[in-house]
Amino acid sequence: MKLRIRYSLRVLFICLSAFAIWLGVRTSAAMHQRRAIATITNAGGLSYFNWQLQPIYDAEGNVDYFKVIRDPSAIPAPKWVRQLVGDEFFQHVVKVHIHPDKVNDEIISVMGNLPKLNSIDLSWEQTDPDDWPKLTRRQLDELERRVQSACPQASVWSPGL
């Protein structure tokens, strides 16, 4: 006698509903990330994804620096799937680099929508004096506190003035 596993229509609908909820949550997160990246890029910032930062180790085994990979074929998903649904489903922003003068309430709020963000770099090219921020040290410290409160999981870094 063969054992047959039988499913009711109710189980099918429950599984289908759970899948639809999961897909909706993932789609919403991907759309929030896409908007955040666009906002940061329009402000002159850079967003780095989890697959882009490859750690380079020193002789003792400590991370010396991160090599930035620019080739989108390194995204951990088949190309045909990425073309079908978009890259945002398979990558997460882990680092943002932006000039302190460009950070406003909108930038802070969209960075708060990036749950995997773990590093925010509020720096500038120190060799160009025209590019130095027009903020005092106190204003820069306040900006760091505001960014840290919006993204408590991320470490915020800025060089001294």
- Structure confidence by residue, pLDDT tens digits, 40-67: 999 988 899 888 888 778 888 777 777 7
Q: Say what the pLDDT of residue 108 is.
A: 86
Q: How confident is the model at residue 20 (pLDDT cuts 50, 70, 90)?
A: very high
Q: Say what the pLDDT of residue 161 is.
A: 47
> What SS3 state is found at 95?
strand
Question: How many whole angstroms separate alpha carbon 89 and alpha carbon 17?
Answer: 20
The answer to whether 99 and 128 have CB atoms below 8 angstroms apart is no
pLDDT at 38 over 90: yes
Report residue 33 as tokens: 């990330």
The answer to whether 123 and 157 have CB atoms below 8 angstroms apart is yes
61: left (phi over 0), alpha (psi -120 to 50) or beta: left
Residue 26: count of CB within 10 angstroms of its CB: 13
Q: What is the pTM of this model?
A: 0.75
The residue extents of the domains of the chain are 9-157
Q: Say what the pLDDT of residue 1 is.
A: 62
Q: Say what the pLDDT of residue 132 is.
A: 65
